[in-house]
Structure 1
């Protein structure tokens, strides 16, 4: 079983199209979107429709939930570029698209085969939609309170893996970063026997590791191998659409910097 992992698309259609084209050449059996399909970008409806067309299983991220919670006169809790983008997007989604997002669960278990058999899919961490797994200390807490073997998460926009292996002096925790400005187009990591993983494929639509290329991953459950891929996309097209929409300039500028 080959599982295509997408996360944090953030309404960036050009990035999603490039990722799906690259992934199609690699081959996959199932696809999961790990939340935040919405927020920040200029193509909310087009992204939702493409994810549905391709048959991607979607879970909710914090931006997806925030958009659903926006109501006239009660949406002041979100300010800055985050709120501006979500309000603009909400006004451009039709009732069917909003209902689709409303139906996304907070987490799912995906059959991946191999040693892990099942993977927990959640936006923030194995225990929370909004928690960032961004340090060894945080990963240790997650591993301590979650009994699974494999989790796929997003939220940080940083591709990498936290792993733990029980040893004679307690759990050994390690971080395997799989991103950065000088990252190869493909990086591979093998799941060792008895290890547990928290996997982040990085962000399709708004990378934050200094590399503006879109990130995605494929997990081969039978081989226990994770591949993180980077692919260039028409970044200028997305920037032009953001500016034409009158959205905050920071949303366009940050894409070129991968931050």
Structure 2
């Protein structure tokens, strides 16, 4: 089984298109999106249409959670960059598209692969797996061996031994891409990075392929037309900072 792992597209269709073009050459069997397809970007409808055409398993991210809270009147409006994008996207989405987002689960265990998929940590949608301390807490409270998460926008691996959790927690950043072979005596939390808004100083779109037979997790970085997305952000009247940050990967 080869999983195509996407996360944090954030309504950036040019980045998603570039990733899918590259991934098609490498080959995959199943697509999992680890949350935050929406938020920040100018192409919410296009991204949802593409994911649906792929028959992707889409998980709830914190931005989808906030969007649904706005839609249901459970969250007051705010003058933040996050709110500006989500409220604009809410006006753009059709009732059918919004209804589909409502069906997205908060985590899944994909068939054919013994793994946990969730947006933030193996145990949480909102928390971040962004440090040795956070990884140690997740490994202590979660009994599984393999997890895929997003949320940080940073492609990375956290690993520990298949033993009582102690001091041996290792972190490996995959800023420039590359393959990681999961050791047979390890438990790992794997993050493919962000398709549409990388924050590791590399503006190229980030995604991953996981080969369950080889135990290989490969992060791939792909250039895309950043200027096109920036122009669409500004044309939509979204905060200019959302356009500026794409060019520097922050």
TM-score (norm 1): 0.93
Identify the residue that residue 97 of structure 1 maps to in structure 2: 97
Separation in 2, partners of 1:130, 1:33: 16
2:230 is aligned with 1:239: yes
2:207 is aligned with 1:216: yes
Structure 1 segments of 4 or more deviating over 2 A?
71-79, 166-171
Counting strand residues as a fraction of each chain, which structure ranks higher?
1
Tell me the secondary structure at the aligned position of residue 10 of structure 1.
coil
Map 1:1-259 → 2, pairs under 5 A: 1-71=1-71, 75-76=75-76, 78-112=78-112, 117-166=113-162, 170=166, 172-179=168-175, 183=176, 186-259=177-250
Change (3 A) 1:151 1:74: closer
Separation in 2, partners of 1:204, 1:90: 21
Q: Report the Cα offset of residue 118 of structure 1.
A: 1.1
Separation in 2, partners of 1:71, 1:106: 18
Separation in 2, partners of 1:11, 1:154: 15
- The farther-off stretch of 215-224 and 65-74 is 65-74
How big is the alpha-carbon RMSD for the aligned residues of Structure 1 and Structure 2? 1.6
C-alpha contact (below 8 Å) 2:67/2:87 kept by paired residues? yes
Separation in 2, partners of 1:132, 1:242: 27
Provide Cα deviations, 1:186-217, integer angstroms capped at 9, x if missing partner.
Answer: 40110011211100000000000000000000
Separation in 2, partners of 1:72, 1:231: 37
Q: Report the Cα offset of residue 76 of structure 1.
A: 2.9
TM-score (norm 2): 0.96
Separation in 1, partners of 2:104, 2:192: 20
Separation in 1, partners of 2:69, 2:236: 22
Separation in 2, partners of 1:62, 1:228: 23
Q: Report the Cα offset of residue 74 of structure 1.
A: 6.0
Flag structure 2 segments of 5+ consecutive residues without an equivalent: none
Number of residue pairs matched by the alignment: 250
C-alpha contact (below 8 Å) 2:162/2:187 kept by paired residues? no
